[in-house]
Amino acid sequence: MRQTATRVAADRGDAGAFTLSYVIIVPVFFAALMVIAQLTVYYLASSAALAAARQGVDAAREAHAPAGAGPSAAEAFARSTAPGYLISPAAAVVPAGSAQTIAIEVTGGVPSLVPGFPLLHVTQVAQAPVERFTTP
């Protein structure tokens, strides 16, 4: 009987250790999952902004394209394809290296999934040469 009493007393030293480890590990695990989800949404927003910038460049680089065609096409594309993960998209023509090149910049916010995480912003730029017709 003495051995049983000693064994019970020794086991009481670990009482609640399993629960305590879960109290520490589970929140860290969930925080890591939320950070991974946040990075995924950031990547989606960045990809959508780049696709919108490319769409805007394609609209603006056409020969005799109306002024403002690029930014409006980029904003329309961003609003229609990324409404959940690109907040308030805005597009503008930015200076390119030469007069024969057009560049469109698309910016927007990324929704925060992690509590206390600051609102992130993405900016993507696409550029292409302006189409022009030449005689052979």
Q: Nearest 5°: phi and psi at 14?
A: -100, 5
Q: Are 53 and 83 in contact (CB under 8 A)?
A: no
Q: Tokens standing for 122? A: 């993405």
Per-residue pLDDT at 83: 87
How far lies 48's CA from each of 29, 33, 86, in Å? 29, 23, 7
**Each residue's pLDDT expressed in tens, for the chain with a length of 136 residues:** 555 655 555 556 666 677 778 888 888 999 899 989 999 999 999 999 999 999 999 999 887 888 889 999 999 999 999 888 899 999 999 887 787 889 999 999 999 887 787 889 999 999 999 888 788 7
pLDDT at 45: 94
In the numeric block, which tokens belong to residue 91? Answer: 């597009």
